[in-house]
């Protein structure tokens, strides 16, 4: 679990390391506020992928469509995350998830919740896709899943080369073509 008191102490030290006074009026409550923000931003670090699968395991097996080759696609799920290399923001990220049901369909909002919770960790974009794929597989038992993620990385846009670019990654299980998400 995330340790709020350690975070508060660390933020106080960061303010001091930056050469400012944490007792200054504008900064007095900053360590507390920042630690509360981090509890929210990194909520996913409190859970394993298996625990997230249990949290969002809401499926339906109501009719013949769940045993067909019909494709389910949820596109443009907006997320953000933080890169584990620089603690930098990964932003303007969208996730597309496609799967072929195997006896059940998952509640559509659960796919967005899974993507959001997985992103609320120190992450790599590639791992976000793999984590989503693992959780969707665990819940649906589908053998055909495709996760596409596109996003910007502030470790590229705000430092180093300082160029805006998009990174696109795919995580795939089975035979769904990437073309279905274009």
| Active-site amino acid positions | 83-86, 125, 153, 155
Taking the alpha carbons of 36, 38, 44, 46 in that order, is the dihedral positive or negative? negative
Residue pair 81/93 in contact by the 8 Å Cβ criterion: yes
The three-class DSSP label of residue 51 is helix
Given a contact cutoff of 8 angstroms between Cβ atoms, the answer to whether 148 and 95 are in contact is: yes
> Could you tell me if 120 and 45 are in contact, meaning their C-beta atoms sit under 8 angstroms apart?
yes
Strands 72-83, 89-99: pairing kind? antiparallel
């Amino acid at each position: 679990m995330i340790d709020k008191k350690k975070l508060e102490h660390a933020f106080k030290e960061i303010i001091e390391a930056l050469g400012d006074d944490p007792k200054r009026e504008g900064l007095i409550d900053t360590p507390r506020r920042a630690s509360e923000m981090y509890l929210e931003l990194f909520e996913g670090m409190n859970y394993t992928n298996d625990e997230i699968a249990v949290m969002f395991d809401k499926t339906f097996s109501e009719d013949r469509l769940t045993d067909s080759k019909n494709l389910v696609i949820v596109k443009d799920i907006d997320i953000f995350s933080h890169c584990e290399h620089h603690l930098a923001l990964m932003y303007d990220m969208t996730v597309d998830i496609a799967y072929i049901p195997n006896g059940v369909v998952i509640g559509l909002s659960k796919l967005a919740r899974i993507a959001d919770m997985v992103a609320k960790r120190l992450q790599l974009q590639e791992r976000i896709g793999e984590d989503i794929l693992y959780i969707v597989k665990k819940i649906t038992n589908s053998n055909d899943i495709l996760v596409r993620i596109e996003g910007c990385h502030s470790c590229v846009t705000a430092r180093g080369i300082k160029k805006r670019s998009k990174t696109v990654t795919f995580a795939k299980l089975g035979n769904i073509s990437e073309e279905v998400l274009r």
